[in-house]
Amino acid sequence: MTPPSRQALVPFVSVDHMMRLVHHVGIERMMVELVDQIEADFRRWPDFDKTPRVASHSDIGVIELMPTSDGQQYGFKYVNGHPSNTRRGLQTVTAFGVLADVATGYPVMISEMTILTALRTAATSAMAAKWLAPRDARVMAMIGNGAQAEFQALAMKAVCGIEEVRLFDIDPAATRKCAANLAGRGLTVLSCTTAEEAILGAQIVTTCTADKQYATILTDNMVGGGVHINAVGGDCPGKTELAPAILHRAGIFVEYPPQTRIEGEIQQLDPDHPVTELWQVIAGQVAGRTDAAQVTLFDSVGFAIEDFSALRHIHQRLQGTPFFRDLDMIADPDDPRDLFGMLCRSQTADVA
């Protein structure tokens, strides 16, 4: 049987390949590179197709598709969110993604995105903090010490210069896990017994909890002036982390309002409550933080352009490396009109 042509082979990045690539580049360097890529794409935000993710919700979780295109390349991610999975020994979030060429429609890469989503989520948080947090921020509080926590802390260190991270989770085992993983990575790590203790002295507060419910992780009296909040955990209808009073006194920055008003913290507010799109800050169209005492909030739900940026960066980073395998995914008959003939000839080749 004739071997497939190069254009019929699609690079596939497995979990093992992704881990090896990240170690090859370096975790913190990868974070910085992802921030640079996401920022570059945010600056050309109008070039992209934009739509809220296509979601299928159930009582225990959600399965979503997140597509976008810049007219040259197309990307999508399949991702789930099932908070109860941890009780079964499973990941809360799993994902894979596809990058394709718009001119031909052919996929140019398929990749795991469970690890890549963790990296790009942390990179996006750090990017937002770079533009919105106080310039002298050196201490962050990490509320929720699950699968995303270490990525968030290291992204803030690499991009924003954070020196100390204060950890809290309602599950002390999660905090112990996070502290152990961050040991020896150049951060002062403090394990705290309450959220209030963790927030003490922090200029950046990141909330990343998993329960799919309206929750109040931060109350209004816990948040003083001059703080930047990354609210990462509230990412679907009916799931929030912040008291509404915080939202009413914060400058709120979002990715894509039609999606964030459904899934983010601002689902608690009136539909016309003013928010600022983060891309406008990065593109220099509007101001970010306006004074030292302001409370800024990045209401992060994750958006397809960030996944597109991450997939493009990985595709570029693969060049000249062994961190992928080719998949024979695209039927490639000698005559594009004779797919049936290709099928019949394969039977003859097998018999021979």
| 122-302: CATH, from 3.30.230.10, 3.40.718.10, 3.40.50.720, 3.40.50.2300 | 3.40.50.720
In the predicted model, what is the mean pLDDT of the chain? 93
**What per-residue confidence (pLDDT) applies to 1?**
47
Kindly list the domain boundaries of the chain, sorted by start residue: 6-115+306-351, 122-302
Element (H, E) at 96: strand 95-101
pLDDT at 279 over 70: yes
Q: To the nearest 10°, the Cα dihedral for 84, 87, 89, 90?
A: 0
> In a 10 Å sphere around its CB, with 0-12 CB exposed, 13-18 middle and 19+ buried, how is residue 272 labelled?
exposed
pLDDT at 92 over 80: yes
* Residue 150 contacts residue 184 (beta carbons within 8 Å): no
Q: How far apart are CA 60 and CA 74, in angstroms?
A: 30
pLDDT tier at 216, thresholds 50, 70, 90: confident
285-338 pLDDT tens trace: 999 999 999 999 999 999 999 999 999 999 999 999 999 999 999 998 989 999
Report the share of the chain in percent with pLDDT over 70: 95
Question: Which has the minimum average pLDDT: 235-239, 245-249, 327-331?
Answer: 235-239
**What per-residue confidence (pLDDT) applies to 5?**
58
Which CA distances in Å does 175 have to 152, 157, 178, 317? 14, 18, 5, 33
* Residue 94 contacts residue 114 (beta carbons within 8 Å): yes
Residue 153, CB-side half-sphere exposure with 13 Å CA sphere: 31
Higher model confidence: residue 234 or residue 19? Answer: 19
What residue has token string 């009136």? 270
Under DSSP, is residue 74 helix (H, G, I), strand (E, B) or coil? strand
Strand ranges (DSSP E) for 32-90? 54-57, 62-69, 73-81
Average pLDDT, stretch 76-98?
Answer: 92
**What per-residue confidence (pLDDT) applies to 323?**
98
Catalytic residue, chosen from 41, 169, 235, 299, is: 235
pLDDT at 184 over 80: yes
* Residue 264 contacts residue 298 (beta carbons within 8 Å): no
Task: Summarize the chain as % helix, strand, coil (round to 5).
Answer: 40, 25, 35
CA-nearest of 1, 3, 23, 21 to 12 is 21
CATH number of 6-115+306-351: 3.30.1780.10
* Residue 207 contacts residue 241 (beta carbons within 8 Å): yes
Q: How far apart are CA 169 and CA 309, in angstroms?
A: 31
pTM given for the model: 0.93
Q: How far apart are CA 307 and CA 310, in angstroms?
A: 5
pLDDT at 57 over 90: no
Higher model confidence: residue 303 or residue 59? Answer: 303
Strand ranges (DSSP E) for 176-278? 188-191, 204-207, 214-218, 228-231, 240-242, 251-254, 276-277
Question: Which has the minimum average pLDDT: 18-22, 39-43, 207-211, 291-295?
Answer: 207-211
Note if 235 is an active site residue. yes
pLDDT at 4 over 60: no
Please, which residues have CB within 8 angstroms of residue 105's CB and are 6 or more apart in sequence? none
pLDDT at 2 over 70: no
